[in-house]
């Protein structure tokens, strides 16, 4: 499938994979790549911003577009600023922050116009982040080795599964979060443990997941390895000062931190966090917004858009550990939450109890299959909040929402290009997109979160 921004071209116009090109970037595409054109043929250049003239190598070639990686900035854009951190997870740090916000605002509008053909709604100004650095409460690091074979821990270099960029100070993490990472990496080096090599199947260490309760100060660390042995007593001793330390063992070649067999090594297997005056329990693998401070703004906006009057029956779909539903519960008659992950539902039920909320009910189930059953049991919702994963909602799930027939739908989206077709399907079924507002949860990156309100006509 061709990229929606790409143009048609002939074979002769298309550069070969591995070709080096000199390109001038004129705009930014959704996802953060710069857009350049080679005699009308579109090239998406990773690591370049509008106004840059770069030398780039082509990594992928399609019929109507290519993807390339900037090797050298030959002439920098007038907008380009010096990066603060050598961090592969912060590609937009070379753009002034105000310019980042402008780009995200325009990309949300462009997605709704181009994909959904919608423009008769109120697009409100993007909510800027409260902190531009050290805002993440969760980071997943990868293990690797340098040229001398020394164990490293950091992030994959752009476009490379086999190269890890080591960080002395991850500037997306807090100082305590950085210290927790270094504490466990130091133990791994003392034990002479090696990183897992996907090519040979040798080595043990895969990933290190560090979660932080920003309001509670609790640090929960999970070491992810291949199947093998570790000195449990020694590892437990290395967890001094941590709220909890877990060990996850995985089979298979693919890099993932989900699934496998997890064992508690020291402390607690979950952490606590405070959000908008409530306390939430978060299991090791449960979803929680990775920017605590901006999650308050995001969820506050969702509740504002919901316009609760106290008498509604509200559904919270993809409810996770119950954050939105529980924050909404004091403002409505009842909340019904649905989530696929049983551990998250266990957290949601515990969180309702801990916050003395008795009008919220949570169930484990696939929204696609369980929504009809929930409607039959609880009755049709007046208000429905949906916070799906990045892939958005399937057409079948949208049809289930339409069948449930809520008066208002509040859609919390982490991807405007999947929000757009979902919104178009709902509009076609008789809803009106009334309001939409982006929220910058992830400064220095191209990721965009937004909240949309759709009302039944």
414 is annotated as an active-site residue: yes
CB burial readout 252-274, b (16+ within 10 A) else e: eeeeebeebebeebbbbbbbbbe
Catalytic member of 153, 170, 319, 414: 414
- Using alpha carbons only, what angle is made at residue 246 by residues 240 and 248, rounded to the nearest 5 degrees? 145
Q: Which of 33, 39, 31 is nearest to 54 (CA)?
A: 33
- The three state secondary structure string of the chain is CCCCCCCCCCHHHCCCCCCEEEEEEEEECCCCCEEEEECCEEEEEECCCCCCEEEEEEEEECCCEEEEEEEEEEECCCCCCCCCCCCCCCHHHHCCHHHHHHHHHHHHHHHHHHCCCCCCCEECCCECCCCCCCCCCEEEEEEEECCCCCEEEEEECCCCCCCEEECCCCCCCCHHHHHHHHHHHHHHHHCCCCECCCCCCCCCEEEEEEEECCCCCCEEEEEEEECCCCCHHHHHHCCCCCCEEEEEEECCCCCCCCCCEEEEEEECCEEEEEECCEEEEEECCCCCCCCHHHHHHHHHHHHHHHCCCCCCEEEEECCCCCHHHHHHHHHCCEEEEEECCHHHHHHHHHHHHHCCCCCEEEEECCHHHHHHHHHHHHCCCCEEEECCCCCCCCHHHHHHHHHHCCCEEEEEECCHHHHHHHHHHHHHCCEEEEEEEEECCCCCCCCCEEEEEEEEC
**In this structure, are residues 246 and 264 in contact, taking their beta carbons and an 8 Å threshold?**
yes
Q: What CA–CA distance (Å, rounded) separates 333 from 378?
A: 12
Structural tokens at position 143: 């293990």
Positions marked catalytic: 414
């Amino acid at each position: 499938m061709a990229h929606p921004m790409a143009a048609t071209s002939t074979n002769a116009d298309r550069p070969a994979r591995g070709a080096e090109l000199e390109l001038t970037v004129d705009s930014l595409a959704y996802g953060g790549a710069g857009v350049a054109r080679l005699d009308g043929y579109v090239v998406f250049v990773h690591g370049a911003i509008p106004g840059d003239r770069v030398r780039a190598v082509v990594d992928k070639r399609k019929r109507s577009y290519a993807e390339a990686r900037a090797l050298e900035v030959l002439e920098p854009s007038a907008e380009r600023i010096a990066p603060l951190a050598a961090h592969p997870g912060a590609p937009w740090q070379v753009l002034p922050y105000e310019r980042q916000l402008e780009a995200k605002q325009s990309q949300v509008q462009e997605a709704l116009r181009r994909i959904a053909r919608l423009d008769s709604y109120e697009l409100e100004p993007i909510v800027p982040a409260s902190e531009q650095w050290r805002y993440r409460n969760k980071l997943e690091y990868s293990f690797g080795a340098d040229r001398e074979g020394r164990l490293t821990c950091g992030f994959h270099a752009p476009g490379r599964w086999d190269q890890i960029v080591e960080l002395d100070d991850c500037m997306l993490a807090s100082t305590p979060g950085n210290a927790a990472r270094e504490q466990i990496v130091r133990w791994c080096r003392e034990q002479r443990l090696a990183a897992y090599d996907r090519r040979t199947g040798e080595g043990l260490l895969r990933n290190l997941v560090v979660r932080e309760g920003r309001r509670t100060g609790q640090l929960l660390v999970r070491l992810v390895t291949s199947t093998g042995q570790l000195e449990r007593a020694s590892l437990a001793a290395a967890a001094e000062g941590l709220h909890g330390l877990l060990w996850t063992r995985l089979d298979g070649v693919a890099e993932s931190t989900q699934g496998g067999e997890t064992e508690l090594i020291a402390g607690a297997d979950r952490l606590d966090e405070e959000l908008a005056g409530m306390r939430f329990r978060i299991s090791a693998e449960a979803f929680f917004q990775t920017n605590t401070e901006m999650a308050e703004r995001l969820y506050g906006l969702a509740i504002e858009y919901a316009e609760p009057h106290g008498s509604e029956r509200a559904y919270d779909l993809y409810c996770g550990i119950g954050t939105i539903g529980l924050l909404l519960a004091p403002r409505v008659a009842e909340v019904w939450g649905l989530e696929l992950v049983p551990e998250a539902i266990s957290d949601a039920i515990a969180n309702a109890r801990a916050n003395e909320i008795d009008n919220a009910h949570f169930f484990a189930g696939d929204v696609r299959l369980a929504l009809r059953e929930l409607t039959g049991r609880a009755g049709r919702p007046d208000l429905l909040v949906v916070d799906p994963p990045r892939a958005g909602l399937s057409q079948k799930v949208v049809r289930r929402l339409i069948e449930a027939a809520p008066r208002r739908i509040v859609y919390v989206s982490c991807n405007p290009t999947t929000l757009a077709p979902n919104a178009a399907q709902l509009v076609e079924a008789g809803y009106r997109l009334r309001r939409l507002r982006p929220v910058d949860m992830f400064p220095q990156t191209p990721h965009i979160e937004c909240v949309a309100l759709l009302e039944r006509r």
